């Protein structure tokens, strides 16, 4: 499994405008073959900070994700949304173990 984790920032006053873009990205990504989990979570104490959490079956699924139309649309909306400080990493993980 490949896990993508990180953050992105946008001005809090643009959140309502950004929500439809985020929803389209979450729905489009979640429907992809090989996507196990995909979401954004707004930080409780920093309203402009969003945590990104993704889980993919394998690197090939993640690679295909980067070529999708919803990814192209999402990236094109960055300037309009005011996205800054995008910091994402991916890593390989073993089988999940409940804590």
Looking up residue 28, the CATH number of its domain turns out to be 3.30.70.100
Is position 26 within any domain? yes
pLDDT of 36 above 90? yes
Q: Give the residue carrying structure tokens 């979570």.
A: 41
Identify the CA nearest to 33 among candidates 2, 5, 3, 58: 58
* Torsion of Cα atoms, 69 then 27 then 82 then 52, to 10°: -110
Q: Which pTM does this prediction carry? A: 0.92
pLDDT of 96 above 90? no
The pLDDT value recorded for residue 95 is 85
- Residue 16 belongs to what domain range? 2-92
Is position 86 within any domain? yes
Is position 99 within any domain? no
Our count of domains for the chain comes to 1
Mean pLDDT rounded to a whole number for the chain: 96
Q: Give the residue carrying structure tokens 């707004």.
A: 42
Residue 26 tokens, joined: 């979450």
């Amino acid at each position: 499994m490949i896990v993508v984790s990180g953050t992105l920032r946008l001005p809090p006053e643009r959140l309502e405008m950004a929500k439809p873009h985020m929803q389209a990205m979450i729905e489009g990504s979640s429907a992809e073959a090989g996507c196990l989990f995909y979401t954004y979570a707004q930080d409780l104490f920093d309203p402009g900070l969003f945590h990104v959490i993704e889980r993919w079956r394998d690197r090939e699924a993640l690679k295909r994700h980067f070529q999708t139309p919803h990814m192209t649309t999402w990236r094109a909306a960055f300037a309009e949304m005011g996205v800054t400080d995008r910091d994402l990493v991916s890593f390989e993980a073993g089988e999940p173990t409940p804590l």
